[in-house]
Structure 1
């Protein structure tokens, strides 16, 4: 193989398993309540009414990469509703990265709750008020996942980082391929003011709108063994994945400042400082504050 053809071959290897698309039907499928979906050009809407919510899922699972979607959240009185965008693996020991948008009565800030599950254990909630009205326009919500960190981003501003602290004896989600999901449902037992405000069904249907679907990750066929997936989806001499680049192993200085700004001005709850729930500060909390 001559130098030109080997370069071409390397180029081919690099794109295998890495996908990106803005089309819903190339990457995703309606998962439940198919009659609660509305398709308008590049936009997909999911409806919640007093019969059902709705949900969609990616057609494939992925190991590492970046997922992004633009969402316009339920307008008006959305109290009691939850719209979620998340990644998750399967089974009782699953890993999961959650964005959950908690509805409100008109005029109150929308709350975003994030959570990280590792080996089936969550209880890592953080909540913040957004710095814009997420019901008036589409905004980007992204998850970047590599061997070193999981970063939650809103319009490319990091709002949360979950770092790999395996050297401290903590497990890190890097051994299970994950699907990408979204759903809208009624959670008025807890979603708004701790469940004090119930869903007002006279305002149904509650509609969340989606567009700008992107998954740029290492695709993992269900038939491939876990060890093989880890090898296939790690950068090596033969192939490089952009999310494995050293500069993406931690936040840039600018991103670190953005995260500090978010935490100082918009965070309203952090499990790390909840001494009632955690009398002993969780180990990862002692290291996460840059």
Structure 2
């Protein structure tokens, strides 16, 4: 593997490390080592990286800021590419913005509010990246990515890239075409926003941030919402009705603050979290005849 590292470094693609602990890159602080970890410093560097990895038949997984992500304790064989610094460009053109897939949502919402641009208020407090948000059609407070996305620059698993329109993305509740039908990752996105009042935009964002702080356990390492809401029901309410809040397996615990969050209450393992997920699925199925679907991406 060292010769591949040398090739990547010769191309100056960005950060390249061997056996990188992935728990350093997930919000729940769980995940074993990646054989090869790469954080490209540009889209061009990403293409160079993929070309080298394909030459050596190295399997690739892409991650963002590590929220809504659960990685096994055994780690990931092959290469893990992180969209982060280097893929976090931002261009503001009146009421449209072009933004890299590695740009943090919280920072983006704050930055564009200074230009009195409205449309991203719902993202205040969401600890993810633009790429991950597009991938899963992230949303909250009655809005989501599908309502503001114009088009997205997508990297597909075969290494090709293409701009997909909002319609091409086939958005649904926490879903996009990238998850199954056309597996890929968002390199950059164009969003249509609208001019608004700066004070009103900031007030709306702060309201959403305060709500998250008051109702969700972000003081603990966690991966965000574990399950999609089985509408019209809500996952957290079902867990609470079953009396499962606070239930613990190993170092993983169902949050006492919100039933749809599992927190790392110590040295939690991947298997601890998976055991809690399975317990919730079985209990909800038995008592409500509802099949729970995870929102968190499980590698």
User: Same fold, TM exceeding 0.5?
Assistant: no
Point out which structure has higher relative CO (alpha carbons under 8 A, 6+ apart).
Answer: 1
Higher share in helix? 2
TM interval, short-chain normalised? under 0.3
TM-score (norm 2): 0.24
TM-score (norm 1): 0.25
